[in-house]
A and B are shown apart, each in its own frame.
Chain A
C-alpha cells in the first residue's frame, strides 16, 4: 500500500510540470506600447539588411520615436509612429500588417499606370487556349508567336523538390511550342513569390549555366555582419530548352522574385527585356510578429545583378524601354506588347 501511495505521489509531482510550461520556456513579453516598440525596433536593428544602402541611421529612429511612446500611447498613435517608420525606410518589402490597415512603401507607380497590364488583350492574343493556374499561355494573333503571362511566382515548395509543381508545366508548354518563331513572357504585373519557381521557369530557356545574381545576407547583429556574396545560377533543365527569340515584358509593378526572373532571363543571348524598369526590391524578406498581434515584414538581404550592380531600390533596366501611356490605353493600344511582337517578328 505504501508503494502504491509513493507511486501516485511521484505521478502527481510530475503532473505539476504540466501546468508550468511558462515557468520552463519563459512567459510572453508584455503587450504594452513600449514593449511592442522595443521589439519592433530591435528586430529591424538585428535583421534589416539595407540601412546603409538606404542611408538610414536606425539609432536616430530610436532616439526620435522612443520618447513618444508611453504606457498611455493608444493603438492609433502607435500605428501612426510605425507607419512613419515604415514609409521612411522606402523599401517595398517592409510592410506593417495591423487591424488598422497595412502600411507599405510602393515604388513610384502612378495610380494610373497602364504599363503594368495587358491592354485590349483580344487585339493581340488569341483566346480559348488551354490554361494553367500560374502560367497562362496562348498564342498571339500571329500563331507563330507564343504568349505566356505569369501573374505570380507564389507557391509553396512540395517536399524537398522546392519548386511548386504547377510551374513545371512550362515543360509541356515549350514542348508544344518547339516550332514557334518566338515567345513573349509577360511579368508586368507579377509581384513575386518564391524565387525557386522563377528560377525553374528561367532554366527552360538557358543554353548553359549562367550566374544571374549575387546575394548577401545580414547574418549577425552587428551593422557590418553580412555573409559573403553568394551567386545564383540558372542552367538548362527540363525536357527541352527554348533557345529561339524570347521577349520578357516588364514594368514598375514587376517585383521581388519576378525581378529575379527578369535578371535571369536578361543574361540569356536570345532574350530581350521590353517595358519599364522593375520595382527594385528583392531583399529576401522575413515576417515577424508583436505581442499586440501586428505583423511586419523586412528585408534580410541585398541583391546585385550578374555584373555586381546593386538592384535594391533601383530595379532592372529593360533592354528596350517602352511605356504604354494613358492615351495608348484609352485607344486600346498595348505599346509594350506591340514592341515585343515586333521584336520577335523581326528576329532572324
Chain B
C-alpha cells in the first residue's frame, strides 16, 4: 500500500512539474503571477444626498488601497480593500482658520471587492486579452452632516452586490510584464441597508429598531434586495503596471466609482461619485 501511495505521489510530483515545464515553454513571456499592490494618492469625493441637503458636498483626501491580483493564464482573481476618510465641503461651508465649523460632512468610505474573470477572447493585433466574470463587492459610505453649532445628522448607504466584471489587459511591450488594465464593474443585484429613508430621522426600515438590542443585526435584517430600478452602481478602473525588476513594480491607477441610490419611493436620490488617482508599489511573486 505504501509502495502504491509512493508511486502515485511521485507521479503527481513529476507529472505536475512536467506540465509546468510544458506550460512554461508554450507561453514564453507569461507565467502565473501573484501581484500585491499597496496604493495611495488622491481621491475626489462628491456627494449629493437629497435626504440631507439640496447641496453638493465634495472634498479631496489621501485614500489607502490594498489590492491582490492573481494573473493566471486563463483567469484573473482580484481582491481589493479601500479606505477613505474625507471631510467634504459645500458652497456654504463656513471655515475658521481653515477648519470647517458648519455645513460640512465627515465621510467614511470603505470598500471590499472580490472579482473573478475568465478569458473569453484574445485580440492578437492589439496584444489584448479580454476577460468576463463576476464581482462581489461590499461598500459602506457613511456621512455625518454637521449643520450648525456641532449639531449633526447621520446618513449612510451600505450595499453588498453581485455583478458583471469586464476586464481587458493589454501588454504594452512584448516580452515585458508591463500591462494596461481596464475594467468595468456593474453590480446587478445588491442587498442594501439604510433604505427607504424619508428624512434624516425617518425610515420605515429603522423606525422600529430597538436601540437596546443589537442595532447592527436589526439593520442587517431590514435590508432590501434591489436591482437597477433602485440602485445604479458603476465602477471603472484603468491602471498601468510597470516593473523595474522581476519582482518590484509600480502601478498607476485611475478609478471612478459612481452610484445613484433611490430613497423613499424614488423621491430622493443619493448620488455619490468618487474619483481616485493612485500610485502603488507592486510586489510580484
Contacts and interface: CB of A to CB of B under 8 A. Distances in A.
Given A25-B48, A284-B201, A291 B54 contact: yes
B227 interface: no
B236 interface: yes
A24 B271 contact: yes
A169 interface: no
B273 A217 contact: no
B215 A17 contact: no
| Chain A, interface SS category | mixed
B262 to A, nearest CB: 14
Given A10-B182, A286-B153, A291 B271 contact: no
A18 B56 contact: no
A97 B103 CA distance: 12
Interface string A292-315: 110100001100000000000000
Interface stretch (A54-62, A218-226, A331-339): A218-226
A99 to B, nearest CB: 9
B238 A3 contact: no
A14 B256 contact: yes
A73 B102 CA distance: 26
Contacts of B277: 18
A284 B267 CA distance: 22
Contact of B147 (A27, A46, A287, A291): A287
Contacts of B126: 3
B47 A25 contact: yes
B67 interface: no
Given A7-B170, A14-B254, A27 B198 contact: no
B273 A286 contact: no
| Chain B, interface SS category | strand
B211 A162 contact: yes
Interface residues of A, number: 46
A11 B238 contact: yes
Interface stretch (B74-82, B107-115, B132-140, B202-210): B202-210
Contacts, number: 127
Given A10-B182, A196-B211, A21 B264 contact: no
B199 A22 contact: no
B91 interface: yes
Interface in A1-50: 3-4, 6-7, 10-11, 14-15, 17-18, 21-22, 24-29, 31, 39, 46-47
A227 interface: yes
B285 interface: no
A160 interface: yes
A68 interface: no
B108 to A, nearest CB: 13
Interface in B182-234: 182, 198-202, 204, 207-208, 211, 215-216
B148 A18 contact: no
11 contacts: A3-B173, A7-B170, A25-B48, A28-B56, A217-B207, A220-B198, A286-B153, A287-B153, A287-B200, A293-B94, A293-B103
Given A287-B147, A295-B148, 20 more contacts: A3-B172, A10-B180, A11-B252, A14-B238, A14-B256, A27-B56, A28-B56, A29-B55, A46-B199, A156-B152, A160-B216, A217-B202, A219-B198, A219-B202, A220-B264, A286-B200, A291-B92, A293-B94, A295-B102, A295-B147
Closest 5 CB pairs of A and B: A293-B92, A287-B147, A21-B46, A25-B271, A7-B180
Interface of B: 44, 46-48, 53-56, 58, 90-92, 94, 102-103, 126-127, 145, 147-148, 151-153, 170-173, 180, 182, 198-202, 204, 207-208, 211, 215-216, 236, 238, 240, 252, 254, 256, 258, 264-265, 267, 271-273, 275, 277
